[in-house]
Amino acid sequence: MAKKLTHKRLEKQVKRLRSSIRDYYQSQPNELLNYKQLASRLEVKDPTGKQILVAVIEAMVKDGLLEEHQRGKFKWSGPLSELEGIIQFTRSGMAFVEIAGFEEDVLIPESQTGTALNADLVKIRMIGGGGKKARKKGKVIGIVERSRSSFACILFKYRNQYFATPDNQKINVDFLIPDDELHGANAGDKILATITHWDDPRKNPIASVSEVLGKPGDMRAESDSILAEYGFPLRFPDGVEDECGRIPKTISKEEIAKRKDLRDVLTFTIDPEDAKDFDDAISFKRLENGHYELGVHIADVTHYVKEGSATEAEAQKRATSVYLVDRVIPMLPEVLSNQLCSLRPHEDKLCFSVLFEMDDKGIVHNHWTGKTAIHSDHRFVYEEVQTILEGASGPFEEELRITNGLAKQMRTRRMEHGAIAFEKTEVKFKLSPEKKPVDVFFKEQKDAHKLIEEFMLLANRTVAEDIGKKKNSQDQVKTFVYRIHDRPDNEKLREFSEFIKRFGYRIDLNNEARIAQTMNKLLKVIKGRPEQNIIEMLAIRTMAKAEYSVDNIGHFGLAFPHYSHFTSPIRRYPDMIAHRLLFSYLNGASSANPDSFSKLCKHSSMMERKASEAERESSKFYQVLFMEDQVDEVFDGVISGVTEWGVYVEMKANKCEGMIRLRDIDGDYYYYDQKNMRIIGQRTDTIYQLGQEVTIRVESADLASRRIDLKLVD
Same domain for 602 and 548, yes or no, is: yes
pLDDT of residue 128: 63
Same domain for 62 and 115, yes or no, is: no
pLDDT of residue 514: 85
Q: Which pLDDT band, with edges at 50, 70 and 90, does 81 fall under?
A: low
Tens digits of residue pLDDT in 336-376: 999 999 999 999 999 999 999 999 999 999 999 999 999 99
| Distance (Å, whole) CA 61 – CA 67 | 6
pLDDT of residue 134: 65
Contact present, 657 and 619 (Cβ < 8 Å): no
pLDDT of residue 2: 46
User: When comparing pLDDT for 64 and 386, which is higher?
Assistant: 386
The mean pLDDT of 509-523, rounded to a whole number, is 86
Same domain for 536 and 614, yes or no, is: yes
Residue 410, domain member (yes or no): no
Q: Which amino acid, residue 283?
A: S
Contact present, 120 and 145 (Cβ < 8 Å): yes
Say which CATH number the domain at 186 has: 2.40.50.700
Contacts of 289 (CB under 8 A, 6+ apart): none
The mean pLDDT of 544-551, rounded to a whole number, is 94
Contact present, 689 and 660 (Cβ < 8 Å): no
Q: Are strands 364-375 and 482-484 parallel, antiparallel or unpaired?
A: unpaired
Residue 227, domain member (yes or no): no
Contact present, 74 and 34 (Cβ < 8 Å): yes
Contact present, 70 and 34 (Cβ < 8 Å): no
Q: Are strands 657-661 and 646-651 parallel, antiparallel or unpaired?
A: antiparallel
Output DSSP code: residue 572: B
Residue 185 predicted with pLDDT over 90: yes
pLDDT of residue 101: 61
Same domain for 313 and 387, yes or no, is: yes
Tens digits of residue pLDDT in 432-467: 988 889 999 888 889 999 999 999 999 999 999 999
Same domain for 614 and 507, yes or no, is: yes
Question: Taking the CB of residue 310, how many other CB atoms lie within 10 A of it?
Answer: 18
| Distance (Å, whole) CA 268 – CA 447 | 16
Longest pairwise C-alpha distance within the chain: 98
Q: How far is CA 370 from CA 303, 307, 469, in A?
A: 13, 20, 18
61-65, 175-179, 335-339: which range is least confident on average? Answer: 61-65
Query: In the sheet where 678-681 sits, what is the strand order?
Result: 670-673, 678-681, 687-689
Same domain for 159 and 106, yes or no, is: no
* Domain boundary residue, one of 374, 405, 436: 405
Contact present, 89 and 105 (Cβ < 8 Å): no
| Distance (Å, whole) CA 309 – CA 124 | 38
User: When comparing pLDDT for 231 and 96, which is higher?
Assistant: 96
Q: How far is CA 408 from the centre of its chain?
A: 30
Percent of the chain predicted with pLDDT > 70: 96
pLDDT of residue 399: 97
Residue 221, domain member (yes or no): no
Say which CATH number the domain at 25 has: 1.10.10
Tens digits of residue pLDDT in 466-492: 999 876 666 778 999 999 999 888 888
Q: Is 308 left (phi over 0), alpha (psi -120 to 50) or beta?
A: left
Residue 151 predicted with pLDDT over 90: yes
Same domain for 474 and 607, yes or no, is: yes
Residue 482, domain member (yes or no): yes
Tens digits of residue pLDDT in 593-644: 999 899 999 999 999 999 999 999 999 999 999 999 999 999 999 998 899 8
Same domain for 283 and 375, yes or no, is: yes
Same domain for 44 and 93, yes or no, is: no
pLDDT of residue 315: 97
| Distance (Å, whole) CA 108 – CA 118 | 12
| Distance (Å, whole) CA 463 – CA 281 | 17
* Domain boundary residue, one of 618, 647, 672: 618
- The SS3 call for residue 34 is coil
Same domain for 160 and 206, yes or no, is: yes
Half-sphere exposure of 387 (CA within 13 A, CB side): 8
Q: How far is CA 218 from CA 223, 265, 440, in A?
A: 9, 48, 20
Contacts of 55 (CB under 8 A, 6+ apart): 14
Say which CATH number the domain at 655 has: 2.40.50.140
Residue 663, domain member (yes or no): yes
The mean pLDDT of 654-683, rounded to a whole number, is 91
pLDDT of residue 48: 85
| Distance (Å, whole) CA 691 – CA 505 | 13
Long-range contacts of 388-391 (CB under 8 A, 24+ apart): 389/447, 389/448, 389/451
Output DSSP code: residue 203: S
Phi and psi angles of residue 688, each rounded to the nearest 5 degrees, phi first: -125, 125
pLDDT of residue 5: 61
Residue 323: give the domain boundaries: 241-405
pLDDT of residue 665: 92
Residue 122, domain member (yes or no): yes
Percent of the chain predicted with pLDDT > 90: 64
Label residues 457-478 b or e (16+ Cβ within 10 Å = b).
bbbbbbbbebbbeeeeeeeeeb
User: When comparing pLDDT for 709 and 62, which is higher?
Assistant: 709
Indicate the number of domains in the chain: 6
| Distance (Å, whole) CA 464 – CA 565 | 8
Contacts of 634 (CB under 8 A, 6+ apart): 695, 696, 697, 713
Question: Taking the CB of residue 395, how many other CB atoms lie within 10 A of it?
Answer: 13
Same domain for 277 and 387, yes or no, is: yes
Residue 436, domain member (yes or no): no
- The SS3 call for residue 673 is strand
Q: How far is CA 709 from CA 342, 624, 658, 662, 702, in A?
A: 43, 10, 6, 12, 8
Residue 680, domain member (yes or no): yes
Q: How far is CA 173 from CA 119, 205, 230, in A?
A: 15, 8, 18
Average pLDDT, the chain: 91
| Distance (Å, whole) CA 113 – CA 221 | 31
Residue 131 predicted with pLDDT over 60: no
Same domain for 206 and 339, yes or no, is: no
| Distance (Å, whole) CA 538 – CA 499 | 9
Question: Taking the CB of residue 103, how many other CB atoms lie within 10 A of it?
Answer: 6
Tens digits of residue pLDDT in 550-597: 999 999 999 999 999 999 999 999 999 999 999 999 999 999 999 989
Q: Is 182 left (phi over 0), alpha (psi -120 to 50) or beta?
A: alpha
Residue 28 predicted with pLDDT over 80: no
Tens digits of residue pLDDT in 389-432: 999 999 999 999 999 999 999 999 999 998 988 876 788 899 99
| Distance (Å, whole) CA 568 – CA 574 | 9
Contact present, 229 and 168 (Cβ < 8 Å): yes
Question: Taking the CB of residue 200, how many other CB atoms lie within 10 A of it?
Answer: 10
Q: How long, in residues, is the chain?
A: 714
Q: Is 141 left (phi over 0), alpha (psi -120 to 50) or beta?
A: alpha
User: Three-state secondary structure along 478-536?
Assistant: CCCCEEEECCCCHHHHHHHHHHHHCCCCCCCCCCHHHHHHHHHHHHHHCCCCCCHHHHH
Contacts of 118 (CB under 8 A, 6+ apart): 87, 88, 89, 95, 147, 168, 170, 171
pLDDT of residue 67: 87
Question: Taking the CB of residue 57, how many other CB atoms lie within 10 A of it?
Answer: 23
